[in-house]
Amino acid sequence: MHGHHSPVPGDGPASGLLDQVEEAEAALRAAAERGRPGAPDGHAVDADPQEYFTALIEADQKIEPRDWMPDAYRRTLIRQIAQHAHSEIIGMQPEGNWITRAPSLKRKAILLAKVQDEAGHGLYLYAAAETLGVSRDELVELLLAGRQKYSSIFNYPTLTWADVGAIGWLVDGAAIVNQVPLCRCSYGPYARAMIRICKEESFHQRQGFEILYTLAHGTPAQRQMAQDAVDRWWYPSLAMFGPPDRDSVHSAQSMAWKIKRFSNDELRQRFVDMCVPQAEVLGLRIPDPNLRWNPERQSYDFTPPDYAELMRVISGDGPCNRQRMARRRRAHTEGAWVREAAAAYAAKRAGRGPAATRPAARDGRAAA
């Protein structure tokens, strides 16, 4: 077995990644203790704002909401964080599809918790985006109008229970590989949200791995179901890392700003190298006849995903794009009363709302 990852189920397939998250958290704390360059209170009184921004990034300090930042940096972050938040929310659908049909009470409780985690990730990320001066309502409107994207992976259907396993293992796995470097992102609120999210994602990957492991060691029909799910989710998962580096438009600037730390192709390779030994433990085949260890590169050679398909799915023509958006719009409309009730409650607590100006009604109800 190659590589230094430990694929033993009890150890957790993503434990190496979890170590990296903890290192990022320690680095965040160390940077805060070190203090910012310039004035002792961290404010550069006379510095040119652009120069101070660059100095903060070079010193591996975080950019915070109160700091000056270039407009393009702000716009890039809003687009990226919003797209990420939308993906968490839309990503609840393919797995939510199996909550009522989970094969046992235990499986159902785990899946419910996992899908709720994804809602929480959406919440952290919308909150991080709001620190950049955009409201959550605006971002939701842009999603519903089709003007902001979510990850193309969630436009594929979940046909069997094994798909829940394959999503946890491969989709959450690819998400962590992508997101662990974001724990060191230069924008403080995003980095802190990612640390929290990655800790939970590593459990998601672990539960998916465990579902597949159980099926792969079950009856021949269960084993076949697990293999079929891996066959269908492998290439869409590879496509999650985005277009190849030669076609990637935003990368160079994002790297310079320390938003992104590795290229799409580097992360894709890292994911393949992580999955191969884990597939061996599962006893499942990765559906790629060209997959082999390359001793010179110390990595696996593999067949890249179909990028033309990725572009088709991103542009709205995947198997479930229309269904996912229709469902989200319906949920948004049907959830209007919850937002209204929450707003009314907040207003009442603040003592300014209509409820607070009508004490008679409240007393009347209490007396009834």
Contact 230, 293 (CB under 8 A): no
DSSP 157: -
CB 148, min distance to Fe ion, A: 17
Q: Is 172 among the residues that bind Fe ion (CB under 5 A)?
A: yes
CB 235, min distance to Fe ion, A: 20
CB 53, min distance to Fe ion, A: 30
Q: Is 86 among the residues that bind Fe ion (CB under 5 A)?
A: no
Nearer to Fe ion, 25 or 172 (CB): 172
Contact 217, 282 (CB under 8 A): no
Count of residues that interact with Fe ion, criterion CB under 5 A: 6
What would the DSSP string read from start to end of 317-368?
Answer: ISSSHHHHHHHHHHHHHHTHHHHHHHHHHHHHHTT-STTTT-HHHHHHHHH-
Nearer to Fe ion, 36 or 328 (CB): 328
CB 172, min distance to Fe ion, A: 4
CB 80, min distance to Fe ion, A: 15
Nearer to Fe ion, 31 or 191 (CB): 191
CB 237, min distance to Fe ion, A: 13
Contact 356, 348 (CB under 8 A): yes
Among 107, 121, 206, 328, contact with Fe ion (rule: CB under 5 A): 121
Tokens found for residue 222: 């269960």
Residue 218: other Cβ atoms inside 10 A: 12
What would the DSSP string read from start to end of 92-142?
Answer: HHHHHTTGGG-SSHHHHHHHHHHHHHHHHHHHHHHHHHHTTT--HHHHHHH
Three-state DSSP at 316 gives helix
309 residue type, one letter: E
Nearer to Fe ion, 61 or 152 (CB): 152
Binding part of the chain for Fe ion, among 85-93, 293-301, 320-328, 343-351 by CB under 5 A, reads 85-93
Segment 322 to 361, residues that bind Fe ion, using CB under 5 A: none
What would the DSSP string read from start to end of 177-227?
Answer: HHHGGGGG-SBHHHHHHHHHHHHHHHHHHHHHHHHHHHHHTS-HHHHHHHH
Question: Whole-angstrom Cα distance, residue 288 to residue 100?
Answer: 33
CB 121, min distance to Fe ion, A: 4
Segment 203 to 232, residues that bind Fe ion, using CB under 5 A: 204
Binding part of the chain for Fe ion, among 87-95, 215-223, 250-258, 281-289 by CB under 5 A, reads 87-95
Q: Is 118 among the residues that bind Fe ion (CB under 5 A)?
A: yes
Pairing of strands 292-294, 299-301: antiparallel
Helix (H) or strand (E) holding 20: helix 15-34
Binding part of the chain for Fe ion, among 134-142, 199-207, 210-218, 290-298 by CB under 5 A, reads 199-207
Nearer to Fe ion, 61 or 148 (CB): 148
Binding part of the chain for Fe ion, among 81-89, 138-146, 245-253, 264-272 by CB under 5 A, reads 81-89
CB 335, min distance to Fe ion, A: 20
Binding part of the chain for Fe ion, among 40-48, 167-175, 208-216, 281-289 by CB under 5 A, reads 167-175
Three-state DSSP at 172 gives helix
Nearer to Fe ion, 69 or 140 (CB): 140
Nearer to Fe ion, 36 or 192 (CB): 192
CB 95, min distance to Fe ion, A: 9
Backbone angles phi, psi at 63, to 5 degrees: -85, 130
Nearer to Fe ion, 56 or 175 (CB): 175
User: What residue ranges bind Fe ion (CB under 5 A)?
Assistant: 88, 118, 121, 172, 201, 204
